[in-house]
């Protein structure tokens, strides 16, 4: 048994992941999640893979993965920083 609190700030891909996890676990899906359908939901089972190839989330594909996007943004933010370990004078 798990409890999830949902408000307006929850990302749609997270809600779609929750929806598909509930379906996969044969649990009751709340009506507001049943009505929630992404524009690409019919594509989630294409290519023999179900959901996201990066994080395994069931409510999105890798092209819309919030975890991958966050990781890429973090990596891009580190590009301008000087790497002090590699520039040591030995």
**pTM above the 0.75 mark?**
no
How many domains is the chain built from? 1
Give the mean pLDDT of 61-86: 78
- The pLDDT of residue 37: 72
* 7 found inside a domain: no
- The pLDDT of residue 24: 82
Contacts for 84 with CB less than 8 Å, ≥ 6 apart: none
* 55 found inside a domain: yes
pLDDT digits (tens, 9 = 90+) for 22-51: 888 899 989 888 888 754 455 555 555 667
* 84 found inside a domain: no
* 66 found inside a domain: yes
* 6 found inside a domain: no
* 16 found inside a domain: yes
Range of the domain at 37: 12-77
* 86 found inside a domain: no
Burial of 30-47, coded b for 16+ CB within 10 Å and e otherwise, reads: eeebeebebeeeeebeee
pLDDT surpassing 80 at residue 9: yes
């Amino acid at each position: 048994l798990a409890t999830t609190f949902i408000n307006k700030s929850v990302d749609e891909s997270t809600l779609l992941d929750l929806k598909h996890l509930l379906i996969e676990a044969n649990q009751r899906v709340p009506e507001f999640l049943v009505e929630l359908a992404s524009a690409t939901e019919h594509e989630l089972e294409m290519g023999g893979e179900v959901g996201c190839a990066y994080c395994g989330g069931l409510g999105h594909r890798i092209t819309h993965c919030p975890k991958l996007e966050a990781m890429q943004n973090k990596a891009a933010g580190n590009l301008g920083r000087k790497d002090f370990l590699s520039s040591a004078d030995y």
